[in-house]
Amino acid sequence: MSDTTTLAPPAPTLFLGDADVAALADWPSTVNALARAYGLPVSAAMVPPRSMARGEGFWLRSLTAISPSGATMGCKLIAASPRARRASYLISLFDQRTMALTALIDGNRVTGLRTAATAALAVDRLAPQQPLTVGVVGSGFEARGALECLAAVRTLKSVRVFSPTPTSRERFAQGFRRALDITAVDSPEAAVRAADVVLCAARSRDESPVLRGAWLPAGTTVVSLGSTLPEQREVDEETMARAACIVADMPEEVMHDTGDGIAATNAGVDLSGKLVPLSDLVAGRIAPRRSAADIVLYKSVGSALQDIVVAEILFARARQLGRGVDMPASIVPIAK
């Protein structure tokens, strides 16, 4: 048994619930925080591969990361049961200097924030600096968040949205009509046609691709958010093949652990020759296009770095504004 010494109690652990996250977050600050993080040196050891424990019809996934800011490190846990249609998200945030548990945060809204904001960051670096024509495939919370965030950081000329359910796509469009020129259309091809940017956040019931590379006009910037596991599909092999550059938040996972990456590799697409990390794009180490006609793809599986960076700014803002609840008891670091 090792010798341990209990240290003085740290500051109380702060709990931020879903309502706190909603009140504290805004799109520009989230995008800027992620841009700063991806512009700093981040080693592979700081953001290791995720792990997943699987049961019968449910799973527990963990994503850990050390923030390059030097302030925090943390873990997001996702407990999910597709069979029961239930999921819980928890982010624990630790101080890098003292090892104190500084915050516990409901991660549900954080997941949507970081997914949309990282996608908007990628589009901002990939798409031409002009008012953008956007095609949206999907009408769920990921598609809604991606469009909201992109509209907060870039000027959008017009938007077309497709969802297989007419009422869903019309409801989606209606929610944006005060701010955007948006139209609901009756096919994914109609949404994609003539788009500068395609936001794809949808999957079919049979996991066949919902976006076809044959539909894409020259120069399109494609964002794929909806396929993160081997059994899931969103974009077809031709989309991956036509992309001159595929930017990924987690390149190895995109290649080996997504249905889109696996299918493209099986079809003979050389992903290793075109997959680059988002950090290289943000830091300006790569030129994703050789010509204006090149198609580029941002493929996201989500990263713990994104979760922890977003949680970090939420925690700092909560302390400034007096938001959240100090827990009556917490763990106390020990000297070892």
What are the residue ranges spanned by the domains of the chain? Answer: 5-111+304-335, 115-299
CATH superfamily for domain 115-299: NAD(P)-binding Rossmann-like Domain (3.40.50.720)
| Closest alpha carbon to 85 in 122, 106, 46, 58 | 58
pLDDT (tens digit per residue) in 6-49: 566 778 999 999 999 999 999 999 999 999 999 999 999 999 98
Predicted confidence (pLDDT) at residue 159 exceeds the cutoff of 90: yes
Radius of gyration in angstroms for the set of CA atoms belonging to the chain, rounded to a whole number? 20
pLDDT (tens digit per residue) in 131-156: 999 999 999 999 999 999 999 999 99
149, 119 Cβ separation under 8 angstroms:
yes
* Token code pair at residue 309: 């960076």
CATH superfamily for domain 5-111+304-335: ornithine cyclodeaminase, domain 1 (3.30.1780.10)
281, 274 Cβ separation under 8 angstroms:
no
pTM assigned to the model: 0.92
Q: Where are the beta strands (DSSP E) in the chain?
A: 5-6, 14-16, 51-54, 59-66, 72-81, 86-95, 101-106, 132-137, 156-162, 182-184, 197-200, 221-224, 243-248, 275-277, 295-299, 325-326, 334-335
Question: Largest Cα–Cα distance of the chain, in whole Å?
Answer: 68
pLDDT (tens digit per residue) in 194-231: 999 999 999 878 889 999 999 999 999 999 998 888 88
